[in-house]
Amino acid sequence: MTEGRIYEVFARKSHQEELRHVGSLNATDDELAKAYAWTMYDEENWIEMCTVPRTAIIPVTDHGTLPLWGN
């Protein structure tokens, strides 16, 4: 395994759909992440796909814990 980071992948099949999370992957840089996203999550004819390093995602809730009021 090379030193990489986790990327999250989002995609949609039509302009009417919202982007939705389709999976995640490990990659050493953004360019490799694009190749991996496209080849790993090719089960649909996506009109849009994008990927983002997990570290760029800003947590709103405490990660891994339920809020006091539950959900």
Partner 1 sequence: MTSIDTATRHDSTSGLSETCRSGLEHLLSACADTKLLLGYHYGEWTFGTPEIEAAVASCSLSQAELGHVRLLHAVLKRHYDADPDALMSDREAGAFANVAFLDRDIAHWADFVAMNLVVDLAVTRVLDSLRGSSFKPIHMSVEKMLDEERYHAHHGFGWFRALARRNDETRTAIEASLNRALASVIEWFGPADDAEDRALIEAGIRRTSGADTLSALIDDLSGPARELGVTLKADRDRRFDGWDPATRRCTPGAPDEQILYHLRGSKNAVFKVK
DSSP H or E run through 40 = helix 30-40
Instruction: Look up residue 53 and give its DSSP letter.
Output: E
Contact (CB, 8 A) for 7 and 27: yes
Q: What is the dihedral of CA 44, 37, 12, 18, to 10 degrees?
A: 150
Determine, following the binding rule CB under 8 A, whether residue 27 of this chain makes contact with partner 1. yes
Determine the interface stretch with partner 1 among 12-20, 23-31, 53-61, 63-71 (rule: CB under 8 A): 23-31
Place of tokens 């995609």: 11
Number of residues in contact with partner 1 under rule CB under 8 A: 19
Determine the interface stretch with partner 1 among 1-9, 13-21, 57-65 (rule: CB under 8 A): 1-9
Tell me the closest approach of the beta carbon of residue 26 to partner 1, in angstroms. Answer: 6
Site residues, partner 1 (CB under 8 A): 1-4, 25-29, 31-36, 38-40, 42
